[in-house]
Every structure is written in structure tokens, then in C-alpha cells.
């Protein structure tokens, strides 16, 4: 198994967490998005969308973190990242889709660059944009998590699920782009609980082979 990843890419971070939780060893292939390597012909041959991550499993190449993680869930069901009950599965997927669909796509590198550079709003404008949509998403997550009887140590019960795999990287994005996360205590409590697990620790940006030395 081979993962095309960039240390600071939050979508790559999701895939790394899922691979670690499933206990799958993989080869790390670094694609430096800061240098534009994700848009070079060599990587476009792997993922025509020019986005990270991409996963190679044998003869198959997979893209889109959710498709990758659901594939891992289907091919390596143990330990499960989704509950057995259909209603509970829907809750976990809904929690994961808040970062996946409502937060990350409007805060992605190409969107940030467009706001800061093409539209001329600079770094301050970009930080304000990222902060607004992060805040809306975290408000939603906090409301979905706090007081829900299914919320446990983690987003759903006392074992990490797909929801946690998506939550932790988005909290990292918030910190990198100066979004105040203090109004979301349940989100923060769960992210901290996740990061006590070695599978999450090993997936952190600063622990990747392409991270700059600290
Ligand atoms: N929905 C995709 C998002 C992938 C994505 O946007 N990855 C980012 C890194 S976190 C990327 O490659 N960005 C490059 C760019 O915006 O130019 C997924 O979940 O895999």
C-alpha cells in the first residue's frame, strides 16, 4: 500500500489516521503541494484532479479521502470505523461530512490562494474567510456532539470512528489559520482524546517524513 501525501494536507491526514487505525503499513510518497508538485504531470497521472491524497493498493489507485477510507473499511473491516446500526452509521457519516463538504472545500489551498492573491484580499482576507467557514462548521459540530447520547469519549461512543478521522485534521486546520476554537469545548475535548491514541499521533503533520525539522 502506498499513500501519496503531504504532511500538512488535512485530507492526507485523514487517510493516514484511517490507515493507522486499521493497522495497515504503507509507503509514504511525499508530494510537496507548496512547490506545486500536486499539479505536475507525474502526479496528475496518479490523480487527474491534482489533489491529495491518493492511495495505491496493489494494482488499484484510489482518490478522494472518503472513497479511500470507505474502501479501507470495506476491504479491512476490523476494527470498524462505522457502527453496525444504519441510523448510527448515518450519524457518523453526517459528522464526517461537515468537515468534508462544508468546511474543507471552501478552505482548500487553491481557494485560499484565489482569495488572497487573485482577488487581492491578502493574507488577512484569507484568514478571515477561512475563519468564517471554520466557525460555521464547528458551531454545527458542537451542536451535533454536545448533549447527544451517542457522543462518548469520541464523536460516537468510546471507539474512534470515521467522524473522529475527519474532526481531528479540521481542528489542525483551524489552529494553522488562527480560527478561535475555544467556543467549541466538545469538539476540543474529543480532538484531545483522539490525539492521546498512537494512531492519531503518528498521523500528525509534524510526525511525517516530509515535515520540516522542528
Ligand atoms: N475532497 C478531497 C479533497 C482533497 C484536497 O483538496 N486535498 C488538498 C490538500 S488537503 C489539496 O490537494 N489541495 C491542493 C490545492 O488546493 O491546490 C478529499 O477528501 O480527498
Q: How many angstroms does the Cα of residue 129 sit away from the middle of ligand 1?
A: 17
Strands 27-30 and 2-5 come out as parallel
Number of neighbours of residue 64 by Cβ within 10 angstroms: 18
Instruction: Report, as an integer, the average pLDDT of 103-130.
Output: 98
Of ligand 1's listed atoms, the one at least distance from the Cα of 50 is: 12
pLDDT in tens, 61-80: 999 999 999 999 999 999 99
pLDDT number for residue 15? 99
Q: Is the pLDDT of residue 208 over 90?
A: yes
The rounded distance, in Å, linking the Cα atoms of 148 and 46 is: 41
| Ligand 1 site-directed mutation target among 34, 103, 108, 134, most atoms within 8 Å of CB | 108
pLDDT at 172: 98
| Closest residue CA from atom 17 of ligand 1 | 110
Instruction: Report the nearest atom of ligand 1 relative to the CA of 68.
Output: 20
Residues with CB under 6 A from ligand 1: 9-11, 33, 38, 51-52, 64-66, 108-110
Check residue 27 and report its DSSP letter.
Answer: E
Q: What is the pLDDT of residue 129?
A: 98
Q: How far apart are CA 103 and CA 97, in angstroms?
A: 9
Residue 145: pLDDT above 90? yes
Ligand 1 atom closest to the Cα of residue 12 is 10
The three-class DSSP label of residue 10 is: helix
| Ligand 1 atom 10 nearest Cα | 9
| Residue-averaged pLDDT of the chain | 98
| Cα(173) to centroid(ligand 1), Å | 13
How distant, in Å, are the alpha carbons of 11, 68, 72, 171 from that of 4? Answer: 11, 12, 15, 22
pLDDT band for position 214 (cuts 50, 70, 90): confident
Residue 65 has a pLDDT of 98
The tens digit of pLDDT for each residue in 9-33 reads 999 999 999 999 999 999 999 999 9
Is pTM beyond 0.85 here? yes
pLDDT for 91 equals: 98
**Would you state the pLDDT for residue 84?**
97
- The predicted model gives 45-68 an average pLDDT of 98
Pocket perturbation via mutation, ligand 1, pick of 44, 52, 64 by most ligand atoms within 8 A of CB: 52
Dihedral over Cα of 201, 206, 211, 214: its sign: negative
Amino acid at each position: 500500500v502506498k499513500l501519496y501525501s503531504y504532511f500538512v494536507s488535512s485530507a492526507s491526514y485523514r487517510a493516514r489516521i484511517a490507515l493507522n487505525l486499521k493497522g495497515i503499513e504503507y509507503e509514504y510518497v511525499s508530494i510537496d503541494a507548496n512547490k506545486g508538485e500536486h499539479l505536475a504531470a507525474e502526479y496528475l497521472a496518479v490523480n487527474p484532479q491534482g489533489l491529495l491524497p491518493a492511495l495505491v493498493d496493489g494494482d488499484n489507485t484510489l482518490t478522494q479521502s472518503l472513497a479511500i477510507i470507505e474502501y479501507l473499511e470495506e476491504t479491512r473491516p476490523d476494527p470498524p470505523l462505522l457502527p453496525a446500526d444504519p441510523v448510527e452509521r448515518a450519524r457518523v457519516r453526517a459528522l464526517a461530512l461537515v468537515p468534508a463538504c462544508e468546511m474543507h472545500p471552501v478552505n482548500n489551498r487553491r481557494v485560499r490562494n484565489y482569495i488572497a492573491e487573485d482577488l487581492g484580499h491578502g493574507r488577512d482576507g484569507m484568514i478571515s474567510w477561512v475563519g468564517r467557514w471554520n466557525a460555521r462548521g464547528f458551531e454545527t459540530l458542537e451542536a451535533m456532539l454536545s448533549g447527544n447520547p451517542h457522543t462518548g469519549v469520541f464523536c460516537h461512543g468510546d471507539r474512534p470512528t470515521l467522524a473522529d478521522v475527519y474532526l481531528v485534521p479540521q481542528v489542525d486546520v483551524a489552529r494553522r489559520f488562527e480560527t478561535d476554537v475555544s467556543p467549541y469545548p466538545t469538539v476540543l475535548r474529543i480532538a484531545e482524546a483522539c490525539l492521546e491514541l498512537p494512531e492519531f499521533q503518528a498521523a500528525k503533520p509534524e510526525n511525517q517524513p516530509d515535515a520540516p525539522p522542528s
